[in-house]
Structure 1
C-alpha cells in the first residue's frame, strides 16, 4: 500500500512541520512526504503537489497534523470500504460535514481541546471537509480551483466539485491529531473566501462547512463572526497548548497504534 500513497503538505514553518507531520510513523514505513513551500494559496500548493507526484492516492495534510502508527494500514481498510460502495470515489476525509449537517470524525483538535466528530459505522457522504486531511483519488482527475483566494474553504469547494461531477466524497473513521493553534477570530481572508464561494456556487447553496453555512444572504457569516468574538475567552480556555508532543496527544486519545484497528 505504501507505494500507492504520498503525503503532500503546504508548508510555512519548519518547526511546526518537524514537530507534527514529519514525525508521523507512516513516513518511516515507506510513504513519501512532498513539501510545497511559499505558495500563494492552498489551491496552488496542492495543484503543484499533484503535478509533482505520481502516487495513485494523495494524502493532502496540514503541517500540524500527526498520523499515529498504523494510520496508513487503517486508511487501506477505509479505502476498501468506500470502494465497495463507490468504485469511482473521488475524495475521503478524516473530518467532514454530512449531508444532514452532522460532524463526522473522530479527530483530536488542540485548538478545541477535545476529540471532535461522530464516529461513523460506515462511510458517510459529505458536503464539505475540514482541510486538515483530504485523501484524493488521482484517477478522479480532481484539482483545486486556483481562482479561489487564500487558505479557507477549499475543502468545501473540492467536495462540491466532486459532487457536481458525480464523484463520491466520503468521511470515514481515520483518527488523527490536529495540533492546531488557537485562533481568536475569523479574519478578513476568511470573509474573502466566503464571498468567493457564494459567487462560485450560488446555484448549489446553501453549503455547510465545518465552521459556518454558506448561504445566499450571508447572514450565517455575520452571525458566526459575532459568535467567534463573543466566545473568544471561553474557547481560549478550552484550547490545549501545541507544545505537547504529538505522540503524547495520540497516546492520551488511545490512538497510539491504529494498526490494531485496521
Structure 2
C-alpha cells in the first residue's frame, strides 16, 4: 500500500511542517512527501501535486497534521474494507460530514482542545470533508477546480465533484492529530469561498460542512459568525497551544500506536 501512496502538502512554514507532518513516522518509513509552496490557492497547489506525482493514492494533508505510528498500516486496512464495500470509491478522509449532518472522525484538534467526530463502524458516505486530510484515488479522474478562490471549502467542492460523477466519498476512521491554531472568527476569504460554492452547486444545497451549513440564503454563515462571537472566550479557553508535541498529544488520545495489533 505505501508503495502506491504519496503525501502532498501545501505549506508556507517549514517550521510547522517539520514539527508536525514531516515528523510523522510513516515518512521515515519511506512514504514520499511532495511539498508545494507559493501557490495562490489550494486547488492550484493540489493540482500541481497531482501533475508532479504518479502514485495511485494521493494523500492531501495540512502541514500541521501529525500521523501517529502505524497510521499507514491502519490506512491499508481501512482501504481494503472500503474497496470491498464500495469498489467505485474516489475519496476517503479523516473527518467528514454525512448528508444527515452526522460528523465522523475521530480527530484531535488543538484549536478546540478535544477529539471531535464519532467513530465510523464502517465506511460512511459524506457530503463534505475537513480539508486537513483528504485521500484521492488517481484513477477516479477527479481534480480540484482551479477557479475556486483561496483555501477554504475545497474539501466540500471535491466531494461534490465525486457525487456529480457518480463516485463515492467516505469517512473511514483514521485517527490523527490536527495541531491547528485557534480560530477566533471567519474572515472575508471564507465568505468568498462560501459564495462561490453557493453559485457552483445549487443542486446539492443545503450542504453541512465541518464549519457551517452551505445554504441558498446564506443565513447560516451569518449565524455561525454570531455564534463564534458569543463563544469566543469559551473556545479560546479550551484551545491547546500548538507548541505541544504532536506525538504526546497522540499518546494522550490513546493513539500512540495505531497498528492493528495495538488498536
Shorter-chain-normalised TM-score: which range? Answer: over 0.9
Partner of 1:186: 186
**Equivalent residues in 2 for 1:62-101, closer than 5 Å:** 62-101=62-101
Equivalent positions of 1:1-262 (< 5 A) are 1-259=1-259, 260-261=261-262
- Per-residue CA deviations over 1:7-64 (Å, capped at 9, x if unaligned) read 0000000110000000000001110000000110000110000000011001100000
- 8 Å CA contact 1:9–1:60 kept in 2: the answer is yes
| Aligned partners of 1:74 and 1:261 also within 8 Å | no
Question: Any gaps of 5 or more consecutive residues in structure 2?
Answer: none
The more displaced of 161-170 and 226-235 is 226-235
* TM superposition shift of 1:261: 5.0
TM-score (norm 1): 0.99
Deviations 1:93-131 (A, max 9, x none): 000001210010001000000000001110000000000
Q: Deviations over 1:135-170 (max 9, x none)?
A: 000000100001110000000000011011010100
- The alignment's TM-score, normalised by the length of structure 2, stands at 0.98
SS in 2 for 1:6: strand
SS in 2 for 1:108: strand
CA distance in structure 1 between the aligned counterparts of 2:262 and 2:213, rounded to whole angstroms: 34
Distance 1:232 1:155 in 2: 25
After TM superposition, which residue ranges in structure 1, 4 or more long, deviate above 2 angstroms? none
Alignment check: 8 A CA contact 2:99 2:207 kept: no
Unpaired runs of 5+ in structure 1? none
The 2-side partners of 1:216 and 1:120 are apart by 30
The number of aligned residues is 262
Q: How has the CA–CA distance of structure 1 residues 111 and 160 changed in structure 2, closer, same or farther, with 3 Å as cutoff?
A: same
